Structure 1
Amino acid sequence: MNRQVQQVIKAQPSMDGAGVAIQRVAGFEQRGMDPVLMIDELRSEHREDFAAGFPPHPHRGMQTLTYMKHGGIIHEDSQGNRGEIRSGGAQYMSAGRGIIHSEMPTQDSMGLHGFQLWFNLPAAQKMDAPRYRDLPGDELTEAQGEGARFIAVSGNWQLNGMSPIEGPLRELAPQAALGDLTVEAGVEVTLETGAGESVMAYIYDGSLEHEGTRFPERQMLLFGEGRELRIGAGAEGAGLLLLRGQPIGERVVHYGPFVMNSEAEIEQAIRDYQSGSFAA
């Protein structure tokens, strides 16, 4: 059975960091997105839109995944990690019990196109030690089909006409998967999906056709239950992020950069940060 579109969420123009222009899709209490919490798309040819970057700021209780299609980003954090990725690379960070990090564009980035995604952590892992990993573009796995190209960052994927592939990032929890699909005009792609999975697609270029309806770029499509997802590209082709994951199903309490399960845990995170013991 083909999964049907259950909800469409339009990305909203916003600003974050030190004035970086973004398009944001937030779903902290959106059941169909669990375990995905948020997607930010950063896209501009004008350096003034992103040059100030994201100076040092804290996180607790969630994971971030930054995927760059064009331009470069430098990550530094309170654990002593430093990483730089260029076009096609990704950076993974699990904040766990607490980390302070910054993400700044490289000096030679005259244009930038990338995404930062937030994924939830189960309650049992929210106070684990922080983790960080760089994934250069040549470490990501790729599959080609007739009129389609797929890059897997995380998870196992089976798309029609392509060999099964697995992304190199296995730390993303719980069983969350991210891939970048580019489809030529009029081409249809079928994705095999598991029972109970949340399945969604963020359209960053062109448009998708699904069950006779056209969906333009900068929209997130949330799909209902089914064993497969059949989608086709519109007349201009399509570029989209595909996301899957097993829902955590726990209460989400969100305050700025902290994502916990209760108000008391949020208050404790704020106290820990203010006292200087946050990232100890």
Structure 2
Amino acid sequence: MTDTSISKTERRKIEEVLVAQSASDGDGVRLKRVFGGGNLARFDPFLMLDEFGSDDPGDYIGGFPSHPHRGFETVTYMLEGHMEHRDHMGNVGQLMAGDVQWMKAGSGVIHSEMPKQVEGRMRGFQLWVNLPASEKMTPASYTELAAASIPQYEIDGIHVKAIAGGLTLNGVSVSGPIAGLATEPGYLDIAVGPAQALLVDVPEGHTALVYVYEGALQIGSDSYPIKAGGLARLSLTGELVIEADADTRLLVISGKPIGEPIVQRGPFVMNTADEIHQAIRDYTDGKLVAAQPSNASQSA
């Protein structure tokens, strides 16, 4: 399966393939953890990716009751279903199919994410993006993106939804509404048909991840098929070339590495153990969000 229109310059190579593992979070929500936990530096600036999806209300009805974060950003992307966000700033967000919530925890946020349905399918993703040390103690903020506000493109029969960043796909520039962040994140949701090929121009030196959630594909000259539930972490230089083996849906996630120490304990991600201990003390003492303004939010 080849496409002679695809550039033959240096291509990114697969450094690692991970298979999403069954896990549970929140109040018993069943999900697939794609990555997260140990040796996070290799995913820098990303910390975790979860896929959640079930037709069984028992797998999601418990939701994610009120809990804290400090030191990073969370990105929730809904494919199907209805989730409600509430936080200490007074924000109430209704996440429906196709919507995105981009929340900067900064110095601290306390929020909940609860299903607003008692039956039917709930499906989506949550990505954690690290913050540089200079931004970890800045005020929290919340951005809600309605599905209709997120740009969509048709490129050579390939459907692209651009959530964040500005990338080039098959020579066409695509850009999402989330921009101007220190980590320069790119976040694309792509649907591609069998035997179709696409070239994504990711900035040199940026981390590039490809997660397949339906179908199967190959990357560059690697003949190893990446199937649904598989994530490929790629080398830092060259073009990203993807060839689909079937009708395939995938996420392409990229970002500029921060290159700072990463210390995580549960919902807190800082640079030192002392900072983690301070976050725990602040939360225990009711000071995690004490000095923050309310309603730090925006919608699109």
Are 2:13 and 2:235, in contact at CA under 8 Å, matched by a contact in 1? Answer: yes
Partner of residue 72 from structure 1, selected from 54, 67, 82: 82
- Could you tell me how far apart the structure 1 residues matched to 2:84 and 2:48 are? 21
Are 1:35 and 1:119, in contact at CA under 8 Å, matched by a contact in 2? Answer: yes
- TM-superposed CA distance for 1:108, in Å, is 5.8
Are 2:56 and 2:119, in contact at CA under 8 Å, matched by a contact in 1? Answer: no
- Could you tell me how far apart the structure 2 residues matched to 1:182 and 1:173 are? 28
Match of 1:202 in 2: 211
Structure 1, residues 32-54: CA drift from partner, whole Å, max 9, x if none? 31111000100111111101100
- TM-superposed CA distance for 1:75, in Å, is 0.5
What is the percentage of aligned positions where both structures have the same residue?
Answer: 39
Partner of residue 49 from structure 1, selected from 59, 65, 68: 59
Structure 1, residues 11-57: CA drift from partner, whole Å, max 9, x if none? 11000000000100234533331111000100111111101100000
1:58 aligns with 2:68: yes
5 Å-filtered alignment, 1:41-190, equals: 41-107=51-117, 110-160=120-170, 163-170=172-179, 172-190=181-199
- Could you tell me how far apart the structure 2 residues matched to 1:230 and 1:12 are? 26
Give structure 1 regions of 4+ aligned residues with deviation exceeding 4 angstroms: none
Structure 1, residues 212-250: CA drift from partner, whole Å, max 9, x if none? 22111111100103331101111x321111011110011
Scaled by the length of structure 2, the TM-score of the pair is 0.90
- TM-superposed CA distance for 1:268, in Å, is 0.4
Tell me how large the CA RMSD over aligned residues is: 1.3
Q: Which moved more, 1:19-28 or 1:242-251?
A: 19-28
Are 2:41 and 2:262, in contact at CA under 8 Å, matched by a contact in 1? Answer: no
Are 2:55 and 2:119, in contact at CA under 8 Å, matched by a contact in 1? Answer: no
Structure 2 unaligned segments of length 5 or more: list them. Answer: 1-9, 291-300
Partner of residue 226 from structure 1, selected from 237, 240, 247: 237
Partner of residue 225 from structure 2, selected from 206, 211, 214: 214
- TM-superposed CA distance for 1:202, in Å, is 0.9
- Could you tell me how far apart the structure 1 residues matched to 2:193 and 2:142 are? 35
SS of 1:40 mapped into structure 2: strand
- Number of residue pairs the alignment of both structures matches: 278
Partner of residue 16 from structure 2, selected from 7, 30, 46: 7
Q: Which moved more, 1:105-114 or 1:18-27?
A: 105-114
Q: Which amino acid aligns with 2:229?
A: R
- TM-superposed CA distance for 1:67, in Å, is 0.3
Structure 1, residues 189-225: CA drift from partner, whole Å, max 9, x if none? 1111211110111111111122222111111100103
Match of 2:296 in 1: none
Match of 1:38 in 2: 48
- TM-superposed CA distance for 1:173, in Å, is 3.8
- Could you tell me how far apart the structure 2 residues matched to 1:225 and 1:81 are? 38
Scaled by the length of structure 1, the TM-score of the pair is 0.96
Q: Which amino acid aligns with 1:248?
A: I
- Could you tell me how far apart the structure 2 residues matched to 1:14 and 1:277 are? 31
